[in-house]
C-alpha cells in the first residue's frame, strides 16, 4: 500500500497492483497506519514515505508524485512536513568526521 484517500464514507487504498475501495473511516485508517511509515498530507490523503518520487510546486500548490505515478495534493498546513520528510529521505546516511 502506498497511499490511502478518503472518498465519502469509504477509503481508497492505493497499491502497486490496483486500488481497493473499502468501507472504513479515513481517520481510523490514518490512526492505525501511524506516522512511522507514512504521513498525512491532506485532510483526505495519507502517503507512504518510501513511495514518494518527487514534489511538484506551483505558487502555493504542492503535489506529491508517487513512484506509481499517482499524484496527491498536499494542503498548506502539511507542506513544511512533506519538504522536511523528503529532505530526510534524500539526505541518506552522513559520514562521520575524522
33 part of a folded domain: yes
Rounded mean pLDDT, 12-21: 95
Give pLDDT tens digits for 52-96: 999 999 888 999 999 999 999 999 999 999 999 999 888 766 555
Q: Which domain holds residue 53?
A: 3-91
Domains: count for the chain:
1
Distance (Å) of CA 45 to CA 29, 57, 72, 90, 95: 11, 17, 7, 22, 35
Q: Is residue 61 part of a domain?
A: yes
Confidence band (pLDDT; 50, 70, 90) for 37?
A: very high
Q: What pLDDT shows up at residue 94?
A: 55
Q: Which CATH number do you get for residue 58? A: 2.40.50.1020
Alpha-carbon torsion (81, 57, 40, 90), positive or negative? negative
CB 49 within 8 A of CB 85: yes
> Looking at the whole model, is its pTM more than 0.85?
yes
Amino acid at each position: 500500500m502506498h497511499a490511502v484517500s478518503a472518498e465519502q464514507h469509504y477509503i481508497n487504498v492505493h497499491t502497486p497492483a490496483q486500488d481497493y475501495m473499502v468501507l472504513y473511516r479515513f481517520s481510523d485508517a490514518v490512526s492505525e497506519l501511524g506516522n512511522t511509515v507514512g504521513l498525512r498530507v491532506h485532510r483526505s490523503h495519507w502517503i507512504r514515505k518510501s513511495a514518494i518520487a518527487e514534489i511538484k510546486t506551483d505558487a502555493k500548490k504542492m503535489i506529491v508524485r508517487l513512484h506509481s505515478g499517482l499524484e496527491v495534493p498536499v494542503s498548506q498546513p502539511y507542506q513544511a512536513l512533506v519538504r522536511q520528510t523528503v529532505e530526510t529521505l534524500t539526505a541518506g546516511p552522513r559520514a562521520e568526521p575524522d
